Amino acid sequence: MDCLLVNSEDNFWCQLRLLMQKLTYGLFFALLSILLSSCLTDETNKEIVIQDFTSEEYATLSEQLNIDRNIESISTVLPRHMRVNSSGNSSSIDARKALLGRVLFYDKQLSITGETSCASCHLQSAAFADPLAKSMGINGQETKRNSLALASTPSFETSYGSSDNFGTFVGFFWDERAQTIAAQSIETIENEIEMGHDVVALAQQLNDQEMYRILSEKAFGRNNILSSSQIVEALEVFTNSIISGSSRFDRLTDQEFFGENANDEPTWTFQEQTGRSLYLQNCASCHSADMSFPARAIANNGLDVVGDDKGKGEIDGSQFDGMFKVPFLRNIELTAPYMHDGRFATLEEVIDHYSSNIQPHANLSNELRETDGSPKRMNFTDEEKLALVAFLRSVTDDKLPFEERLSDPFKE
C-alpha cells in the first residue's frame, strides 16, 4: 500500500502500520538471528568439545592408539527407578579427562615392570572383574584377594564413597580401607605386589612421552605438565564413566514403576519372578532391592568358622574380624569367581553356601542368624536355586561389555 496516496490522517495510520510491520519483521529476524546464533554457538561448543585433535596430534596418537579423532561427549544417566532416591540422577563426564584416564587404565607403564595395567585385573568382558580367583601382580606375585568388579555398581559416583539416607558409607577394597577413588588408585599403583610404582615418578616418566603430552594438554590445558594428582583424577573420571544400567532388570523395573519400555521387553518369566521374590526375602537386606546401594557396607557371611583373612579386622580391630565389603551384584553373572578369596566358581556354589553351609563365625551377621544365634539354613529347593540364578542373570548389562569408549585403546 502506498501511504502517499491517502489523506494526511489516513497517511498517519498507514505509516504507523508500516512501521509496526517493519518492527514485527525486524523483531522476528532478530529473534531468528539469536536462535541461529545460539544454535551455532551450541554447535561451536560441541565442536570444541568433540573435535579435539589436530592432524599432527592425531597422527602421533595413532601410532599407538586406536581412538577416534572426534571425542564424543559422555552423559551418565541412571535407570529411572534409581533416580527417585538418588542425588546423582545424571551427570556430564569430562570426555577429554575420561580419554586420558582410559589410556592410563590400559597402560602397563603404570607398573614398575611394565607387565601389569589396571585392566590386567579388571577386564571389560568380565564387567571389569578378573576371572582368576586372585589376580597376578608384578614379578609373578599373586594378590591377596579377588579383584572387585568395577561394573558391579550403577556407577562409582552414585554408589561408592558416599552415604545413603541411612548413613551407609561405602569405601574401597574388600576391607574398605580407602575412602576415595584417589586413595584407592594411589595405593594400587604403589602396592609392591600389584604395580610397585611410585606415582610421582610415574608422572615424570609419562611426561617425557609425546602421546601423554597431547592427551594431558587436552585434558588439563595448554602447556600442562602431567602431575601425579592429574593421573589419579583422570583415572577417577574414567572409572566414573563406567555405567551399568542397561539390564533386563532395569528395563522391567522401570516398566513396573513407570510404564516405560512396555513394548520393548518381555515380562518376567515365572522362574525369574520366583527368584526375585526369594532374593527380596533372603538377600536384599544386605545387597539392596534395586542393586544400587547396599543396605550394609560390611558383613561376615559365614564362609569359615575362623578365617585366615581377618578382612576389616586387620584395619580396625578384632571386632571386625572376618568382615568384608558387601559387594554390589550388578553383572554378577560375568564376575566369577566369587567371594573375597574367589573360592566359589559359580553362582550355584554361592547359593549352595547360603542355602545350607553358613558357618558359625563369631562375627556372623545378624541377617544370617536364627533367633537362637545359630547360622540360618535357608534350605532352598533345586527349583528355587535355579530361580535365584535366573533372577541374578537379569541384572547383566547387555551393552557394557561391548562399549568401545571403555575398551582397550592400544594397538596390538
Count the residues in the chain: 412
pLDDT of amino acid 263:
61
3-state SS record for 339-367: CCCCCECCHHHHHHHHHHCCCCCCCCCHH
Structure-block grid coordinates of residue 409: 585403546
pLDDT of amino acid 76:
72
Structure-block grid coordinates of residue 346: 559359580
3-state secondary structure of 142: strand
pLDDT of amino acid 258:
83
Percent of the chain with pLDDT over 70: 82
Q: What is the dihedral of CA 132, 133, 136, 141, to 10 degrees?
A: -150
Per domain, the residue ranges of the chain are 3-50, 55-243, 248-393
pLDDT of amino acid 47:
33
- Please confirm whether the linkage preceding 337 is cis (ω < 30° from 0): yes
pLDDT of amino acid 295:
81
CATH topology of domain 248-393: Cytochrome Bc1 Complex; Chain D, domain 2 (1.10.760)
Q: Write the DSSP assignment of 133-191 as a string of letters.
A: SS-B-GGGPBPSSPPPPGGGSS-HHHHSS-B-TT--B--BSTT--B-SHHHHHHHHHH-
pLDDT of amino acid 412:
83
Rounded distance between C-alpha atoms, residue 353 and residue 247, angstroms: 26
Rounded distance between C-alpha atoms, residue 232 and residue 203, angstroms: 10
pLDDT of amino acid 73:
81
Cβ atoms within 10 Å of 260's Cβ, excluding its own? 16
b/e sequence 208-224, b meaning 16+ C-beta within 10 Å? eeebbbbbbbbbbeeee
pLDDT of amino acid 51:
52
Residues 6 or more apart whose CB falls under 8 angstroms from that of 20 comprise none
Class of domain 55-243: mainly alpha
pLDDT of amino acid 92:
60
Asked whether 300 and 363 are in contact (CB, 8 A), the reply is yes
Q: Which residues, given as ranges, of the chain have pLDDT below 50?
A: 1-2, 4-16, 18-50, 84-90, 163-166
Rounded distance between C-alpha atoms, residue 195 and residue 70, angstroms: 32
Q: Which amino acid is at 265?
A: E
Q: Is 292 left (phi over 0), alpha (psi -120 to 50) or beta?
A: alpha
55-243 and 248-393 agree in CATH topology: yes
pLDDT of amino acid 15:
47
pLDDT of amino acid 279:
97
